[in-house]
Amino acid sequence: MMLKKIWSPIAWLWNKFWWLLDGSRRVFLNLLWLLILIALFGAIFRSGPKPLQEKTTLVLSLRGPLVEQFSGSARSQALAELQGQKAARQTRLRDVLAALQGAAKDPNISAVLLDLDDFSGAGMAGLHEVSAALQRFKKDSGKPIYAYGDSYNQRAYLLAAQADEIYLHPMGNVLIEGFGGYRTYYKDAFDRLGVSANVLRVGTYKSAAENYFTNGPSPASREADSLLYGALWTSYTDQVEAARKLEKGAISRDIEQLPEQMAALKGDTGQLALKQKLVDGLKTRDEMRALLIERGAKEGPTFRRIGYGDYLAHLKRQAPFGAAVGVVVAEGSIVDGETQAGRVGGDSTAQLIRQARENDQVKAVVLRVNSPGGSAFASEIVRRELEITRKAGKPVVISMGDVAASGGYWISMSSDRVIADANTITGSIGVFGMLPTADKLVEKLSLHSAGTTTTWLARNYDPMRPLDPRFASLVQSSINHIYDDFTAKAAVARKKKVDEIDAVAQGRVWTGAQALERGLIDQLGSYGDALKAAAQLAKLEGEPRLIYIEREPGKLDKLLASFADALAPSISAAVREQLGFTAAIPAPLQQVKSDLAWLGEVSEGRKPFAAVVHCLCAAP
């Protein structure tokens, strides 16, 4: 009886606790479902875009990175939003170009405002595409472009410099730093841990995995990086100084004198930008709104405006039939098999090229490449599909974006014309393989690995055991063969001798301008130039219709995409709190995490003699 009396209150408390827990769960899930329904019905019954009124300002709010195509699926993007990852927001290059092209001819658009506060950047080639589009807008329309920012980083400022007038918040700054950076080198750390990277490579300048087996860059790496970054910096400063009508060398001189200039202005970064003629004025946000109202029209509490995403809905859609140029985007690392947008799958990208070839409306194919490479096998699958497309009578034009190096160059070797931006990172014709082992670490942990095999090759690679020199020899032979295959294919594609290609290969990275001088590409030009070239090769008259050949999203992806923007911001914080997400890892440690994750990715699940054509070159 005594035990029953004690147990009854405990059971009662437990039942009440469980009722409260279950009830709160139901309330939270019901609220979440209600928000989804509201967003869904809003997407279904949303009326079409309102007619534009005169004196409307087109606001180019570029958020996140500038990309060739949105990465991931609507599901993954929604999850990233719920986790508070800003990287989920992306700006697609072709959308910006289309909005500017349409706005130049639209009588209701009176000006463009650049809002770059949330722009996380792009490579120099992508920035050059947008800069050129802004210049065309001014030339074709005669309409002004304004730029306003709380601050400007180096990449954002290159776009802002194209504006007629640049304004900065009085407490803001313009940060132009230059190009280059530091890598983390792991040799001593790996030695202390008892880990060996075992990197096998071909190419004096193939430095992609160098940081795993050295404590610093090799002389060859320093030489190549110095030439590359120097060319990019010269291009950047020349463009900014020309746009802002500054004397040549002004930017580099101001950086050298920065401590003295800052001291003279008592640390006022806004006045510093004004003195250096990087901005035309300092204005608070309300002052900028007042200026735009004065120059345009008042609508409610602010100026009459439209975002570029909404503006795209006002542009007329192209006719659904007729001859067209098919565009396939190859963006991200190249991997075997199939993958979603944001990476280049050997099988999935080849399938898209095949769709373009079999589409009767597509008369030519443009492959837009923005990739640092990856799997040599997957790269060859894509290249071969382009070769078949050419044999079928459809011209192929390669348009290189920020990066088209190593595997990104490999997939570009079967084409009728290769067009790159002057600042495209390309080349890196070289191969490497990596077989990390931790046998010394295993010894330190007093672990042992033993067993029986019928031949020495049966367990050809075991990270817990020392790398067998015989197996290393096999892999090195395979890598040598793939390098020979790479250079041979490049020689055929570029109509050169193998020795000529080898002299500019060796894993060395070049800018587009340097690649043109060495015969690795056909011409310098923009994405638009590549589209025109494809139309000319296919003998299409007038401005060609474009068909973007992309994987069709599933029904769930379409549903999520229809209301993700309305849903995610409103519940992101609540869901993060409920799920217990923690703060982001600091940037330096994030790079170490990325390096080690890549090391594991390279070694895990690879074919016995697989090789990597990757340059690990970020777009500066």
* Signed CA dihedral, 283, 286, 290, 296: sign only: positive
Catalytic residue chosen out of the listed positions 110, 131, 151, 206? 206
Supply 185's token pair.
């080198």
Rounded Cα gap, residues 107 and 262, in angstroms: 44
Catalytic member of 375, 379, 406, 428: 406
E strand or H helix that includes residue 114: strand 109-115
Q: Which amino acid is at 551?
A: R
Q: Is 572 a catalytic residue?
A: no
Instruction: Please enumerate in sequence order all residues whose Cβ is within 8 A of that of 611, keeping only pairs 6 or more positions apart, or say none.
Output: 376, 431, 432, 433, 478, 479, 482
Query: In Å, how far are 71, 82, 403, 496 from 66, measured between CA atoms?
Result: 11, 21, 13, 35
CA angle 551, 553, 559 (to 5 degrees): 165
3-state secondary structure of 619: coil
In the chain, the amino acid numbered 549 is I
Closest C-alpha to 447, from 213, 198, 194, 190 = 194
Q: Are the beta carbons of 255 and 241 closer than 8 angstroms?
A: no
- How many C-alpha atoms does 558 have within 13 Å on its Cβ side? 6
Please name every residue paired with 325 in a beta bridge, in sequence order, or none if there are none: 364, 546
- Give, in order, the Cα–Cα distances in Å from 536 to each of 322, 388, 416: 16, 20, 12
Cα-flanking dihedrals φ and ψ of residue 599, to 5°? -60, -45
Residue 337 gets the label, from left (phi > 0), alpha (psi -120 to 50) or beta, of: left
Answer yes or no: 110 catalytic: no
Q: 179: closest CA among 228, 223, 244?
A: 228
Phi, psi dihedral angles at 506 (to 5 degrees): 55, 25
Long-range contacts from 289-297, C-beta under 8 angstroms, 24+ separation: 291/167, 292/57, 292/111, 292/113, 292/146, 295/110, 295/111, 295/144, 295/146, 296/55, 296/56, 296/57, 296/110, 296/111, 297/53, 297/54, 297/55, 297/56
DSSP code, position 196? B
Three-state SS at 147: strand
Q: Which residues are catalytic?
A: 206, 406
